[in-house]
A = this chain, B = another copy of it.
């Protein structure tokens, strides 16, 4: 039996996905019309295909709910959420390329370089990455220049070589390096953790929250990032391709080493439970108002796809 808070959580998650997709449609639609006469139709189609392909929209959800908790204006938060999803989706498009993870399927659908071609996939990724900074810095994101600038800078760091891109580079090396526990955690904190951390920090920054609140939400985002990756590692060994919509057992098969292969599934499940508790503790000053975000931690830790 689902509890009332679970129902509310699911509703909010679905609502965030719905709204961020509508915003992404708007933003990409503007790109198709704006300014110059010539439009690279095929590139725009590939960008749409890479972005509007379903998915839980977890990062946008975290931006939106953190912003809501701290009373940030909802429309700018939605734009930040959409920009962050552009970054996430660009990284998926590039990661799937033959020279990288060489994946033909993503969420059960052909990846961008399969549905289009490799050159278009590379450019679609580049275009989405660039678009994210356009969206946040734009006047349409109705926040002060100072706040927009902080959001741009924090995003560039989360997505750059000290964050996601750097983590991806380390991940490529991991097949040879066979890293230990500490190294795996650092790599994952960069590769997937940095954007989840940003998602939670961004909501607080958009709200103009004080430094200690931003730090608290950043910490919450870090815990979420850890939980997400541990759950992902569990799924890689326990799920099947049909459920996951992508190949499974790949990390283990490539000898990359995950915490599951290093510590075992049970130990990882225990860690996950501890992380969910820690997330709830970090949010405790907000009381009931943070229920949705607390539930998010549990959802991420126990997700089955």
Residues of A within 8 A of B (CB): 31, 34-40, 42-44, 47, 90, 94, 97, 99-100, 117-120, 122-123, 125-127, 129-131, 133-134, 137-138, 144-146, 148-149, 152-153, 155-157, 159-162, 165-170, 172-173, 183, 186-187, 189-190
Contact = CB atoms under 8 A, between A and B. Distances in A.
Across the A-B interface, give the 5 residue pairs with the lowest CB-CB distance, nearest first.
Answer: A99-B118, A40-B169, A134-B156, A43-B169, A137-B153
A119 to B, nearest CB: 5
Contacts of A47: 161
A37 B35 CA distance: 44
Nearest to A102: B119
14 contacts: A31-B162, A36-B186, A36-B190, A43-B165, A47-B161, A97-B122, A99-B119, A100-B122, A126-B129, A133-B152, A133-B155, A137-B153, A145-B149, A152-B152
- Of the listed residues A36, A149, A172, the one surrounded by the most CB atoms of chain B closer than 10 A to its CB is A149
A122 B100 CA distance: 9
A160 B100 contact: no
A161 B118 contact: no
Contacts of A90: 126
